[in-house]
Structures are given as structure tokens and as C-alpha cells.
Structure 1
Amino acid sequence: MQCHLKPETTRYARQIILSEVGTQGQQRLRDSKVLVVGAGGLGCPVILYLAGAGVGTIGIVDNDTVDVSNLHRQILYAIADVGDLKVLAAKRRINELNPDIMVHTFDTTLNSENVLPLLTEYDIIVDATDNFVAKYLISDACIICEKPMVYASISQFEGQVAVFNYYNRHTQQWGPCLRDLFETPPPPHLTQNCSEAGVLGVIPGLLGCFQANEVLKLILRVGEPLSGQLLSIDCLDNTFRLLSINTKIQDRPPSKMLGVMTTPIWRNSDWLSPDALHDWIAKKVPFQLVDVRDVSEHQQGSLGGRLIPLKDIIKRQAELDTTRRIVFYCRSGVRSKAALLAVRSLDQEAELYSLEGGIERYLAIYPDEHYPVAY
């Protein structure tokens, strides 16, 4: 009997037959966008397995080049790649494995100017870095952008993995963040990366596989993510410990976020109160109002203005009129903060505001004012 399966069905046949995946799950994978920060020992297995599973768009952030000392653990690369940028070598390998995957490469280091624009384009952020400054930068940015962060760290024969900033759709609550586990980064003299402390190549491979598994679970909406839990692994004695993480930091104002960045990009004056917005509308002050929620949310009710979902704010920046004041709003004020910071990273001179408390607070104060505002 001849098989007449479509090429894509054939490629993913072994996972499509899983009841937790099926054709609908495979479509979710195809539609998903995942950013992997770091293309080293952790990032390599994550990237390979996400590409193998059919995640449609993968972004890779890394500014390093392939060194022969990487090859014992960074399984994406070969001798022929030595000296090449890791992001380009990784893209070549993914194209060989699965040419249907869209790969975006960023030969850079995350910083205060690029972290928010990079994160807004993706659904899930994978922390595959090897230093605490980057980890806290990613964690704080994920809070602002409302993105889940799949975290891992390794030290010699040990490793940890967790999912931070996960939004539980059933309880409508956010899970713990990295600062709930460790509020501040440890002093530099107490930490070492792999080149200083050493690592057995299989350890980051194992932890990277756990990270890839958590990403796939989040996309497919199956199982229990490692939210509120830290999986600690000691590979010398085969000990697996599942530790609980409690949410300690309830109030996470932007001034306390991105605290490891060299320059602040948020100012208290960026808030615009509902009363101030109401006054501007009444007096017909010239400004542009921008709703950064999703289309479905906008259709259910809005304050009007131009709809530019947060995920599109960078690529649609030409629609923003920076010759006037711009007010961003969302449900509660979190996504509008992310939009403001993303736009400010591209235009430091623009006069930008985020509606404090979002549309929820505005309509709580002015409940009868449902009208389009098209300034």
C-alpha cells in the first residue's frame, strides 16, 4: 500500500497522532513565534527541537562566534562553522533540518534599547543565556511585555529550569517571576559561567531539552507548566527536586523593572491619568490615541483611536504620529507601558504616554463614555 500523506503530515506524523497534539496542535505550533536568547549549550537543543517540532517562527539572539571549544556541548555546530556567527550557523542548520521554518537572527547583545522591541514580536521567550545580568533583563522585560519566560541555568553537573511570568487562563493570575526566586542578581564575584567553572557537555543539553518541552507544552496548552515551581537536577546522583516558588513581589512598577539596565527608559511622567485623558478629550487637545490590545478586545469595547496590537507596534511604527502627543492604552496599563518603551527605544524625542490603569480604570471612572476618539 502506498502512502499519500502530505509532506508536512509525514514530517510531523509521530506527534500528530498524539491526542494532545493532533492537527489543531500542529497548527498552533506552526503559528507560534519563539525567541531564543542565547545560541550556546542551552540554546542549541532548544532551537533544534523547536524547529523539529514545527514551531513556525524562531528568533535567535546571540553576538558570539563559533569556537572549537564550543563543539563538545553546542550540538548545532560543526568544525566547518568555527569562526562564523552562531546565529548564522544556527540558521543554516535549521534550514537543513526544516526548511519550512522562518528564522530571524539578531547578532547583538540585549540592552535597554533593543530588549523590548525584540520581545514584543514573539509569543514565548527562552532564556538560554549564561549570565545573570541578561537573565534579569529578560525577566523584567517579559513582565512589561506580558510574555512567559522559559528559564534555565547550569553549574557544572547541576541545572535548574522553570517557567516565569506565566499567565494562567483558568485562574486569571500571573505566576512568579525570576525576582520572586532571587530578588536581585548575586554579586559578580560569586558567579561563574561555563568557561570559568567548567561543564560536562550533556548537562546543558539535558536542561535545554527540558526548556524545549516547556515551550511546546505552553504552545499546545497541555500538561502543567513549571510555573511556581523550580525543577532542580543533580546529574551526579540523579536527583530531581521540584521546589515551590511563591509570588512575593506583588507590586512591580516599571521604575523597579529593568533595574540591571545601564540607563532608565521609564519615567513617572509617562503615566497619563484617566482624568487627564478625559480632560484632553473634552478640550480637544491634539493627540493620537492608540489601542495596543488585540483585535477581539478592541471589538468588544474601546475608547476608540487607532488599533495597533502590541505585537505589531514596531513594524507599524509609521502609523504613529510623533509630531503630536501619543497616548497608548490597553486593558490595565501593562501592554501600553511595553508599547511606550518599545517606541521610545526608536524615538527618544517623541512625547509618549501610557494610560494609567488602562481602559478598565478609565471606564470605572467614566462608565458611560463609550465612543470613538479619532484625534
Structure 2
Amino acid sequence: MQCNLKTDTSRYARQIILSEVGAEGQQRLKDSKVLVVGAGGLGCPVLLYLAGAGVGTIGIIDNDIVDVSNLHRQILYSIADVGDLKVSAALRRINQLNPDIVVHTVATTLNPDNVLSLLAEYDIIVDATDNFDAKYLISDACIECEKPMVYASISQFEGQVSVFNYYNPHTQQRGPCFRDLFETPPPPHLTQNCSEAGVLGVIPGLLGCFQANEVLKLILRAGEPLSGQLLSIDGLDNTFHLLSINKKTRSRPPAGTLGAATTPQWRDSDWLSPHTLHDWIATQAPFQLVDVRDVHEHQQGSLGGGLIPLKDIIKRQEELDTTRRIVFYCKSGIRSKAALLAVRSVNQDAELYSLEGGVEQYLAIYPDDRHPVVS
């Protein structure tokens, strides 16, 4: 399928003049096939910008219906689309934007029986889903089909993006996959979707734009993809963190186990009693103490140690010294248990403990151990 020079020059003029694109790059875009799984907050900007750039074939998988609560962030849709399948509304909008491309829609939910066949004809897979089950399934299928997965996730004012299973033509090796970031699912405390945790509408738009950018870079073979790196963005304080993801030695997922994931297990020995913690502090034993409460709680008084709020525990995991024992604490022990399970999901070899009963129980026994309020 060759470019129509007159049409393409006028429509894509502003990107064709880029040295990284040109006529050859525009032809690559037209010849490429990209599947977007999820037509929600992330998928909407991805679809718009891929269609606008001239990606020749776009697939959309989503089984949801447009709801009025979607409209504050899912920019493909209008009030007239409420009640329609998202894939149908998305197809109409994309055809209005760029009628020269091919769009395939599938109103279904991915499952281990259909995922390989649905991914097979596409070059790049975009994970625009909002749940961990789907992400594990897509990742395993991308490994099986040897396709790159452009990943993103969002929560409230924050988000992260990466490229998994990328084949580097220079090293002739594939980069890390999603399981290298999260070998097992974090606990439910850390995996709420938008309807549970809330989200500011611009955040999925921002992350979706980053995903679209990674897709276009892969097609154009321009720049460096986010392979082996996790870009974490906080929209409240405008901070960007680039974290490394190490590839682990693993084989392809066994047949019949696509998407299978086990939750990290809690053991009774993970609890650390207030008496043991008191002894460790008194004897200056080698361990790291981490408060996983919110900032204002920590400032009102603590047991010492560093502060990493529960919501940031994965994003800031590099601050954890896994060469020593780590003790998490919170008000009563609930959040510290969640923090332990979250860290265990990405590092099963670390020696981790949760303070039993939290600050409340500890200070009831040792009231003089409270650290003063931080001014």
C-alpha cells in the first residue's frame, strides 16, 4: 500500500518534514498495524494520535459502553455517544478524523482462549486497560507472539509508562516484560481502578500521549524506546522519575497459563512484635524502618525511620535497602501489611516485616519512644 503523495503531503506535512519521518517514515506508518486494547481514558488519546499520524491499520478491543461518567477524560466520546459501544463510537470518531485508514473493532473481553488470535495480525500492542488481570494476559501473549507491548497505568494524579518485550535489533535481544516489573499482582490496596480510586481527567490523556509517542517511535525506528525503563509521572508536583527494570531469566509462559498470576502470600512470621522492634532499636540492630502512613500522620509523630507513603511504595522501591531487614509500620498494621505484600511482589528475596498493631500498639507499650513532631 503506497502513499497517495498529494493527500499524504497535505495531511501529514508537518511530520513529513521531520528528518526522523520523511516520506519513508510516513510509508512505514501507513503500512503498520497497531492494536489498542481498551478504549477508555488511555485508549482515547492513543487512538486519536495514531489515527492522526496515519497509522494504516488500527485495531480496537473493548466491550464497554459509553457512560456519562466517562466524558470528563475519554475524549473520543460526546454526550450523543452515551449508551453506545465504545468501539462503535470510537470508529465513528476516527473515521471523521482520518477516513483513509483501516479500523477494525472487536467488542469483546480478552481471555486466554482468544488473546493469541486477536493479537496475531498486529505489529504493536498497546495496553490501555485498567486492571492487572488484563495486563498479565497481554504481556504473556506478547511474549508468545513476539510483539512489543506499550504499557501505561494511572491512578488519581499519577501514572507510569513503559515498553515491554521490545526486540532490540542491535543486541538481538528482547527487553524486560511486564512480569519483570510485577512478577505477581500487588495487593488490592494498590490496584484500585479509576472508579474506585478516582482520577483527574488530564492524567490518562497525558499518559496516553506518551504511549502514542512510544508507538510512533517504534514504527519510525526513531529515538530510544522506554524498554527496560519505567517512566513515572506525578501531575501534582510535576515530577518525572525514570526507573530501571531488570530483565529476569524466564521462559515463555507454559501453554494454558496465559495471564495466570499468583498473589504474594502472607505469613504469620511477617509480623514483627513491638517488643522485638524495641529490642532492635535499643541494640542498634541493622534494619531499615519505613513509615508507610501519609505525610501529615508522620509529621504528627512517628517511630523514626524514613517515610514512603503506601501509595508510593512501588514507585520508590529503590529507596528500600533490601540488603538489610526492612520493617514497615503504619497506624494499626493494615497499610504496613499491604506495603510488605507489594514489595514482596517485586522482590521475593527481601527480608520484610510489618509491625504488629502499628504505631498505636507500640506506643501503648513504649510511650517514650515517640519521635517529636517535625516542624
Residues 160, 126 of structure 1: CA spacing in aligned structure 2 closer, same or farther, 3 A cutoff?
same
Structure 1 match to 2:21: 21
1:113 Cα offset (Å): 1.2
Q: How does 1:1-375 map to 2 (within 5 A)?
A: 6-188=6-188, 190-255=190-255, 257-260=257-260
Please state how far the C-alpha of 1:190 moved relative to its aligned partner.
4.0
Give the conservation status (yes or no) of the 8 Å contact 2:33–2:58: yes
Asked if structure 2 preserves the Cα contact closer than 8 Å seen for 1:44 and 1:75, the reply is yes
Equivalent-residue separation in structure 2 for 1:184 and 1:164 (angstroms): 16
Deviation at residue 188 of structure 1 after TM alignment: 3.6
Q: Provide the rounded CA distance (Å) in 1 between the counterparts of 2:42 and 2:34.
A: 15
Change (3 A) 1:256 1:65: closer
Q: Distance in 2 between matches of 1:159 and 1:120?
A: 28
Task: Check whether the contact 1:161–1:210 (CA below 8 A) recurs between aligned residues.
Answer: yes
Q: Secondary structure at the match of 1:6?
A: helix
Q: Deviations over 1:356-375 (max 9, x none)?
A: xxxxxxxxxxxxxxxxxxxx
> 1:255 deviation in Å?
4.8
Does the CA-based 8 Å contact 1:37-1:128 persist in structure 2?
yes
Post-superposition offset of 1:260:
2.2
C-alpha displacement of 1:30: 0.2
SS in 1 for 2:65: coil
Whether contact under 8 Å (1:159, 1:203) holds in the other structure is yes
Identify which range, 252-261 or 130-139, moves more after superposition: 252-261
How far apart, in 1, do the equivalents of 2:247 and 2:229 lie? 11
Conserved in 2, the CA contact under 8 Å of 1:229 and 1:245?
Answer: yes
Q: Deviations over 1:120-169 (max 9, x none)?
A: 11000000000000000000000000000000000110100000000000
Show the counterpart of 2:313: none
**1:256 Cα deviation (Å)?**
8.6
- CA deviations 1:71-104 (Å, max 9, x no partner) are 0000000010000000000000000000011000
In the alignment, the residues of structure 2 paired with residue 148 and residue 45 of structure 1 have an alpha-carbon distance, to the nearest angstrom, of 19
Tell me the CA shift for residue 259 of structure 1: 4.1
SS at match of 2:47: helix
Distance in structure 2 (CA, Å) of the matches to 1:174 and 1:243? 18
Structure 2 unmatched runs, 5+: 263-375
Could you tell me whether the CA contact under 8 Å between 2:136 and 2:261 is conserved in 1?
no
d(CA) in 1 for partners of 2:146, 2:64: 28
Task: Give the TM-score normalised by structure 2.
Answer: 0.67
SS of match in other structure, 1:254? coil
Amino acid at match of 1:221: R
Larger Rg: 2
What CA distance in whole angstroms lies between the structure 1 residues aligned with 2:258 and 2:185?
12
Task: Report the Cα distance in structure 1 between the residues aligned to 2:259 and 2:96, rounded to whole angstroms.
Answer: 40
Question: How far has the Cα of 1:189 moved from its partner?
Answer: 5.1
Cα offset, 1:254, TM superposition: 2.2
How much does 1:248 deviate?
1.2
Gap change, CA 1:243 and 1:96, over 3 Å in 2: same
Give 1:170 shift.
0.7
The letter for the 2-side match of 1:179 is R
The share of aligned pairs that are identical, in percent, is 85
Instruction: Name 2:369's counterpart in structure 1.
Output: none
Q: Verify the 8 A CA contact 2:112 2:256 in the aligned structure 1.
A: no
Unaligned segments of structure 1, at least 5 residues: 263-375
Residues of 1 paired with 2:123 and 2:115: CA distance?
14
1:232 aligned partner, one-letter code: S
Change (3 A) 1:256 1:54: same
* 1:112–1:261 contact (8 Å) kept in structure 2: no
Structure 2: distance between partners of 1:132 and 1:27: 35
Distance in 1 separating the partners of 2:6 and 2:232: 41
Is the 2:156–2:199 contact (alpha carbons within 8 Å) kept by the matching residues of 1? yes
The amino acid across from 1:182 in the alignment is F
Checking the alignment, whether the CA contact within 8 Å between 1:157 and 1:200 is kept in structure 2 is yes
Aligned to 1:331: none
Query: In angstroms, what is the RMSD of aligned CA positions?
Result: 1.5
Residue of structure 1 in register with 2:274 after alignment: none
Q: Supply the distance in 2 between the matched residues of 1:239 and 1:231 (Cα, whole angstroms).
A: 10
The letter for the 2-side match of 1:112 is P
